[in-house]
Amino acid sequence: MSLQSTVAEVLDREHVFSFMTPQSTAKLNVDKNVLLYLEGISVSFDGFKAINDLNLYINDGELRCIIGPNGAGKTTMMDIITGKTRPDTGAAWFGQTINLLDMDEPAIAQAGIGRKFQKPTVFEFLTVFENLELAMAGDRAVLKILGARINGEQRDRLDEVLELIGLKELPHMRAGSLSHGQKQWLEIGMLLMQQPRLLLVDEPVAGMTHQEMDRTAELLTSLAGKHSVVVVEHDMDFVRSLAGKDRTVTVLHQGSVLAEGRMEQVQNNRKVVEVYLGE
C-alpha cells in the first residue's frame, strides 16, 4: 500500500485520532471523583425516543459494563458521549468543567474520550508498531508521523502499550496477518497511545475465541484505575468476568437505566430477567 493510500485510509476512518484535531483548552476536573455525567438526556429519531431521560455517572478509574436488549439505546448513548449524536435535552459533562454538548467529535476525542467500535479498524498494510506509531498523540501531520523518528519517551510509551496488549513479540507483524482478537487488542492499543481518560468499548469480544475473551477481560480490567472504561457487551459470561463481585453493571432498557448494581443484584432483578436475561 502506498503512503498516499495509507493517508487516504487514515482520513476515512470512523476514528477521530487526536493528531487530527485542534488542541482543547478546557481542563479536566474530577474533584468529585466522577468522570462522566449524563443527566436527563433524551433523543428522538422521527418521534421515537431512543434515549429517554437517561442519567448515568461514571467514576474516575471505574470499569463499567453496560448491558441491555437490542434497541435499548446503548449505541446511541455512546454516540451522544462522543458527539456523533446531539441529544434533544439534557446535560453531558466530562469532569465538572467540560461540557460535551458544546463540543464536536474531534474536540471530544482531544479532551480524552476514545471509542473502540465493534469491528476492528486497524491499518492492515502497516505493522503493529506502525499502527501504534500512527495513533500516537500529538499535533504532527500524518505524513510526518509515518516518516519521523520517535523520541525516547514515545518509544517507552509504545513499548508499554505493546506489552499491555500482548503484542510485544509481534511489533513487525503486518496488522492484516493478526488474528481477530489480536486486531481488537491492537486497536485498543491505538486508542491507548492517545492516553484517553475515558475509553468506550463496543462489544469487544464478538467473534473471539474463549482464550481471546479471557485475555481481553484481563486487558480491560488492567486499564481500570488509570482510565475509566465503559464496555457495552451482550456476552454475559464476559460481563460476569469483567464485573467480578464488586463492579457496577448498568442495564439499559428503552433508553433509560432499568437497573444498576453489582452483577449478582442485576442478575436477580426481576425486571432485568423479564426484559433481558430471560430472553
Ligand X SMILES: Nc1ncnc2c1ncn2[C@@H]1O[C@H](COP(=O)(O)OP(=O)(O)OP(=O)(O)O)[C@@H](O)[C@H]1O
Residue with cell 437505566: 257
C-alpha separations of 272 from 72, 185, 267, 268 in Å: 12, 31, 7, 8
The burial of 70, by beta-carbon neighbours within 10 Å (0-12 exposed, 13-18 middle, 19 or more buried), is given as: exposed
- Residue placing its CB nearer to ligand X in the complex, 75 or 154: 75
Stretch that binds ligand X, among 42-50, 132-140, 213-221, 237-245 (CB under 6 A): 42-50
Stretch that binds ligand X, among 2-10, 72-80, 209-217, 220-228 (CB under 6 A): 72-80
Check residue 71 for interaction with ligand X (CB under 6 A): yes
The minimum distance between CB 4 and ligand X, in angstroms, equals 33
The one among 6, 18, 21, 76 contacting ligand X by CB under 6 A: 76
The minimum distance between CB 102 and ligand X, in angstroms, equals 22
Q: Which of 134, 182, 178, 181 is nearest to 158 (CA)?
A: 134
Helix axes 128-135, 152-164, angle to 10 degrees: 120
The minimum distance between CB 69 and ligand X, in angstroms, equals 7
Check residue 74 for interaction with ligand X (CB under 6 A): yes
Chain centre to alpha carbon of residue 242: 15
- Residue placing its CB nearer to ligand X in the complex, 192 or 272: 272
The minimum distance between CB 142 and ligand X, in angstroms, equals 30
From residue 96 to residue 125, the character string flagging contacts with ligand X as x (rule: CB under 6 A) and all else as - is ------------------------------
The DSSP code sequence of 20-74 is GSPPP-PPP--TTSEEEEEEEEEEEETTEEEEEEEEEEEETT-EEEEE--TTSSH
The minimum distance between CB 130 and ligand X, in angstroms, equals 32
Which amino acid belongs to residue 56? L
Which amino acid belongs to residue 214? D
The one among 3, 5, 40, 45 contacting ligand X by CB under 6 A: 45
Residues 6+ apart with CB under 8 A from 70: none
- Residue placing its CB nearer to ligand X in the complex, 73 or 189: 73
Check residue 73 for interaction with ligand X (CB under 6 A): yes
Give the binding-site size for ligand X (rule: CB under 6 A): 11
- CA–CA dist 73, 256 (Å, integer): 8
Check residue 68 for interaction with ligand X (CB under 6 A): yes
The one among 36, 41, 65, 72 contacting ligand X by CB under 6 A: 72
Compute the radius of gyration of the chain from its Cα atoms.
Answer: 19
Footprint on this chain of ligand X (rule: CB under 6 A): 45-46, 50, 68, 70-76
